[in-house]
């Protein structure tokens, strides 16, 4: 177990389990979640391993902060603290380390005996749904007002010209949806990211399906292999698409076959929407680059 401090969350075991706590209590009742977590943790180490107290302490802290700590978990955790379990490891690290660890555990003990908040909503900080179907053509609005153009090193453009694209529509086509992470305890919970193809065109209004039939590809500068590609990836979050007034135009699945296994892709995440990096700068640079070739 890697440890970098005396804190409850200052070790690999606690950090690795944090996301599993969220998934378990999102999916199951409190009692069922605790049982499944116990069973899951026991597949990695036993009740007599040092890691067990890291699990118990971090679980109790998590549950208290979410307002769902049960008397059983509280009492079992306090008994573990009072027993001095695994403190010999800290003793070997020196008097100062042992003193700091005891201070942390005393604080946790007092916290668990204090009143907790009302139960809080628990939801994994991941993108749970794989939105859209491969081949779907989608129109979304550009949002450039109030931002700075961030891609001058890729394709020069003034902020004035950048702002002139505000409200215009671009067309993207879903290539695939990939899960970048799966919960070990609740495998159906995963973090989805979407891959899209961008076309080199802008429209004043929502284009028709027929207008997409002969559009050329845009050209991104791939972040990783530095190759040229029309593909970008972003979060699988419908919130961002609703903000950009998305319209599903139709589906041309056969068009994406050549791109499905292409490793080149550009990062154009909607959550990174700042002056120094924003998806609209990436989209416009890729469109203008293609038009200039």
Q: Taking a C-beta distance cutoff of 8 angstroms, is the pair 225, 211 a contact?
A: no
Q: Is the pLDDT of residue 120 over 90?
A: yes
Q: What is the pLDDT of residue 217?
A: 96
DSSP assignment string, 121-145: P---SS-----S-TTEEEEEE---T
Query: In the structure encoding, which two tokens stand for residue 271, read together?
Result: 């959550």
Cα–Cα distance measured from residue 140 to residue 227, given in angstroms and rounded to the nearest whole number: 25
What mean pLDDT comes out for the span 280-289? 96
What mean pLDDT comes out for the span 238-261? 94
Q: What is the pLDDT of residue 288?
A: 95
Range of lowest pLDDT (103-112, 158-167, 218-227): 218-227
Region of residue 84 (phi > 0: left; psi between -120 and 50: alpha; otherwise: beta) = left
Q: What is the pLDDT of residue 264?
A: 85
Chain position carrying tokens 């179907």: 133
Neighbours of 84 (CB within 10 A): 13
Mean pLDDT of the chain: 93
Terminal CA-to-CA distance of the chain, rounded, Å? Answer: 54
Q: What values do phi and psi take at 217, rounded to 5?
A: -75, 145
pTM: 0.84
Cα–Cα distance measured from residue 248 to residue 138, given in angstroms and rounded to the nearest whole number: 5
DSSP assignment string, 6-20: SSTT-BHHHHHHHHH
Q: Is the pLDDT of residue 226 over 70?
A: no
Q: What is the pLDDT of residue 28?
A: 97
Q: Is the pLDDT of residue 223 over 90?
A: no
3-state secondary structure of 191: strand
Q: Is the pLDDT of residue 233 over 90?
A: yes
Q: Is the pLDDT of residue 98 over 70?
A: yes
Cα–Cα distance measured from residue 56 to residue 238, given in angstroms and rounded to the nearest whole number: 36
């Amino acid at each position: 177990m890697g440890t970098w401090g005396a804190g409850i969350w200052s070790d690999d075991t606690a950090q690795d389990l944090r996301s599993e706590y969220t998934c378990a209590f999102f999916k199951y009742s409190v009692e069922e979640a605790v049982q499944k977590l116990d069973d899951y943790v026991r597949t990695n180490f036993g009740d007599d391993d040092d890691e067990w107290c890291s699990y118990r302490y971090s679980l109790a802290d998590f549950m208290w902060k979410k307002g769902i700590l049960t008397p059983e978990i509280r009492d079992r955790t306090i008994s573990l603290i009072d027993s001095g379990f695994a403190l010999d490891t800290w003793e070997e690290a020196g008097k100062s380390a042992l003193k700091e660890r005891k201070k942390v555990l005393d604080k946790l003990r007092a916290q668990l005996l204090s009143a907790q908040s009302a139960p809080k909503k628990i939801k994994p900080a991941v993108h749970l749904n794989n939105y859209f179907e491969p081949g779907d053509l989608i129109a979304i609005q550009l949002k450039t007002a109030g931002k700075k153009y961030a891609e001058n090193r890729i394709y020069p453009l003034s902020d004035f010209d950048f702002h002139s694209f505000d409200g215009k529509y671009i067309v993207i086509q879903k290539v695939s949806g990939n899960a970048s992470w799966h919960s070990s305890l609740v495998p159906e919970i995963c973090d989805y990211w979407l891959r899209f193809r961008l076309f080199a065109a802008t429209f004043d209004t929502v284009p028709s399906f027929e207008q997409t039939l002969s559009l050329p590809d845009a050209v991104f500068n791939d972040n990783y292999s530095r190759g040229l590609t029309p593909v970008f990836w972003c979060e699988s979050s419908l919130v961002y698409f609703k903000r950009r007034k998305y319209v599903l135009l139709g589906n041309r699945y056969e068009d994406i076959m050549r791109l499905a296994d292409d490793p080149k892709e550009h990062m154009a995440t909607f959550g990174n929407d700042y002056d120094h990096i924003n998806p609209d700068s990436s989209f416009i640079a890729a469109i203008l680059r293609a038009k200039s070739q």
